[in-house]
Amino acid sequence: MEEKIVLLAHGAGGKLTHNLIEEIFLKAFDNPYLSPLNDQAVFSSPGKELAFTTDSYVVNPIFFPGGDIGKLAVCGTINDLAVGGADPVYMSASFIIEEGMPMRELEKIVSSMARTSMECGVRIVTGDTKVVERGKGDKVFINTTGIGVVREGVRLSPSFIRPGDIVMVSGTIGDHGIAVLSERGGLNIPVESDCAPLHALTGEVLSKAGARVKAMRDPTRGGLATILNEFSESSGFCILIEEESIPVKDAVKGACELLGFDPLYLANEGKAVIVASSECASGLLFVMRNNPLGRSAAVIGRVIEGPKGKVVLETTVGNRRAVEKLSGEQLPRIC
């Protein structure tokens, strides 16, 4: 039996587009906002203050240990809302498919999106599908755009960061970067992507520490190093981190040594970096470590007076070196 593939006509807006939407998207995402198939979803505003975020996903390969581009697209947008202090509610999903993509791969990705969004109580309420000719895309690119409700009283901004604050990560870093790299290169490194939705964990963090949480961010492209640099630039203070406190899996460490990567720059897709008042340290560690996604949470450093706008790493042997933002291309198409 010949394999069903996506044709250019599936993107033409006519009968085949209609069939694709009915048979694949509507079946998977079914909900009362999407099912009228209007060009827009209409709903009562879910809250007073809203967060709004968008990301396009071009990860290569589209299937990797621990996830796929669909799960990634849902988690990534949920996480951008979560680290803004918002509970995710609605999401859009837009697909740019390369002609010839096997239909069963598309179905697998869409069902992965449906499963993840349902588990998170997020509804995919509107969407779009385009098809481009062979060689003008790469299997599938997905955009997800999310709307969340900002928790009452929550105000997060790197500009609130002050000397004395602590810097935490919710778990091991570099897993996603190494998992995708390994799959891409056929390296069989035993690491799975950490791709996961963080809204429950960040919600618990905010419930515990409230306004003493200054800023949160998920260290995706550019990794932990880039986020910390952004925090230090926006706050005008120095961030001092300790190498030995930063949780990194042995397999990730090993892969980095072998391949010449630095885990500080590797992408993560299920980790939060949190800056909070120092008195919250033990309470937040307790809360995070009780969440399955935060078992390896750690305090990795603190904010100090100077030098301003710098991130400094204290290495395991006691030296100090500056940690710059990612420059150049470490791993293209990691998300």
103 binds its own copies (CB under 8 A): no
| Total binding residues toward its own copies, as defined by CB under 8 A | 84
Cα–Cα distances in angstroms (integers) from residue 244 to residues 77, 255, 317, in the given order: 31, 18, 9
- Cβ closer to its own copies: 135 or 318? 135
What is the smallest separation between the CB atom of 60 and its own copies, expressed in angstroms?
Answer: 8
Distance CA 154, CA 150 (A): 7
- The single residue listed with the structure tokens 């009452």 is 152
Q: Which part of the chain contacts its own copies (CB under 8 A), choosing from 42-50, 102-110, 204-212, 244-252? A: 42-50
- The single residue listed with the structure tokens 């120092």 is 278
327 binds its own copies (CB under 8 A): yes
Taking CB under 8 A as the criterion, the residue among 6, 24, 62, 93 binding its own copies is 93
- Cβ closer to its own copies: 126 or 291? 126
Distance CA 200, CA 205 (A): 9
Q: Which part of the chain contacts its own copies (CB under 8 A), choosing from 141-149, 168-176, 177-185, 301-309? A: 141-149
Q: Which residues of 259-297 are buried (b: 16+ CB within 10 A; e: fewer)?
A: eebebbbbbbbbbbbbbbbeebbeebbebbeebebbebb
Taking CB under 8 A as the criterion, the residue among 35, 54, 207, 315 binding its own copies is 54
- Cβ closer to its own copies: 47 or 100? 47
Binding positions for its own copies, 105-124, rule CB under 8 A: none
38 binds its own copies (CB under 8 A): yes
Taking CB under 8 A as the criterion, the residue among 24, 73, 74, 96 binding its own copies is 96
What is the smallest separation between the CB atom of 45 and its own copies, expressed in angstroms?
Answer: 4
Distance CA 216, CA 236 (A): 17
Binding positions for its own copies, 233-262, rule CB under 8 A: none
Q: Taking a C-beta distance cutoff of 8 angstroms, is the pair 88, 75 a contact?
A: no
Instruction: State the burial class of residue 42 (Cβ atoms within 10 Å of its Cβ: 0-12, 13-18, 19+).
Output: exposed
